[in-house]
Amino acid sequence: MIAKALFFTCILFACCCINAQTRVWQPSPGHVQIPIWPGTAPDAHIQPVAAAEYVTNMPTGTGKTWVCVCNVSQPTMTVYSPSGTNTGVAMVVFPGGGYMALAIDLEGSQICNWLTARGITGVLLKYRVPVRKIGPYGESPLALEDAQRTLGLLRSQAAEWHINPHKIGVIGFSAGGGMVAELSTHFDKRLYPAVDAADRVSCRPDFAIACYPGHLWDGEGDLNLNPDIATNITHRTPPTFLLQAEDDHVDGVKQSLVYYTGLMNVGVPVELHLYAQGGHAFGIRRTNLPITGWPQLVETWLATIGMTTSK
């Protein structure tokens, strides 16, 4: 827990000390951010962001950096469409950052680029951060509202984006992996009043992928799920893929273990991959460790659950 606190303290420190930068994150040329709400996002008054959104770089300890987006108050989605073969599958991508910031490239745009190369539409969600726990809905009800809205919006516009409305999943990393579980167990009822027809469309993911997730274990000695998730897992929770390293000293392997057990106990198809080494926040960047092959495991799994065809 000390390592986790230190990790997120470093993120918060960087986001506080470099706030002279007010540049709003922009995707690469050819991609456009789309506001997910037609007006002010719901419940914005509960926790207003004190400063403007800005972007900075964070070191990884390997000589490389990742792009950190802070103070997001206007959530957006950016659609990355395949340029070649289109499988019709889409994934909404939730970057991590401890609900204090977003690792927008390491766990966002780079993931979308991998997906589009495989004929899958990637939808990068820039959800609201920082946020604190308010009410009964996990660590971040505002971020969960953004996730629910994006799934419904994307499904209602499936024809426009050339995707199959029955093949829309989610993938998340670290805190984003925790939000994968939150959305997978909180899709029957929106946390906000409907604002348009998109909110009357199902926001249930057709499949879910959580990589080195956080916020799933209750933090006690036993292997117990976060009560907010435990009480909402049902047989309708979508098929799930879990990935984590045993030397993840930020969130820890118990996060995946408790969610795996909870899903298995109610009969949800779940595939769990644990590796001895890999640490935390490795994203899709190649290393010399076996865990770096995880994207191929996901591709195989998508075929086994009928989202794509076998090669």
Domain of residue 244, CATH code? 3.40.50.1820
Q: Is residue 124 part of a domain?
A: yes
**Res 15: pLDDT:** 52
Distance CA 295, CA 49 (A): 35
First CA to last CA across the chain, in angstroms? Answer: 42
pLDDT score of 3: 45
Residue owning tokens 């019709």: 88
Pairwise CA distance, residues 95 & 89, whole Å: 19
For the chain, give the number of residues.
311
Distance CA 70, CA 130 (A): 7
Is residue 71 assigned to a domain? yes
Model-level pTM?
Answer: 0.92
Domain count across the chain: 1
| Low pLDDT (below 70) residues in the chain | 1-22, 60-63, 132-139, 310-311
Both tokens assigned to 255: 């996060």
Adjacent-strand bridge partners of 173 = 211
Dig out the tokens for 245 from the structure. 């390293």
Residue with tokens 């998730």: 229
* Residue 311 domain-assigned (yes or no): no
Structure tokens at 75: 């959530």
pLDDT at 10: 42
- Provide the 8-state DSSP code for 311: -
Range of the domain at 218: 2-304
CA dihedral sign of residues 10, 210, 213, 175: positive
For residues 54 and 16, the answer to whether their CB atoms sit within 8 Å is no
pLDDT on residue 279: 94
3-state secondary structure of 167: coil
Q: Classify residue 217 by its DSSP letter.
A: B
pLDDT in tens, 176-214: 999 999 999 999 999 999 999 999 999 999 999 999 999
Residue 79 lies in a domain: yes
SS3 6: helix
Tokens 């390293």 sit on residue = 245
In a domain, 245, yes or no: yes
Residue 199 phi, psi (nearest 5): -85, 0
Helices and strands (H, E) in the chain, number of each type: 8, 11
pLDDT value, residue 187: 97
Classify each residue of 129-146 as buried b or exposed e, where b means 16 or more C-beta atoms within 10 Å of its C-beta.
bbbeeeeebbbbbbbbbb
Return the half-sphere exposure (C-beta side, CA atoms, 13 A cut-off) of residue 102.
Answer: 31
Residue 309 falls inside a structural domain: no
Whole-angstrom distance, CA of residue 210 vs CA of residue 216:
11
- For 244, the 3-state DSSP assignment is strand
DSSP per-residue codes, 80-133: E--SS---S-EEEEE--STTTEEETIIIIIHHHHHHHHTT-EEEEEE--BS---
The Cα 115–Cα 110 span in angstroms is: 9
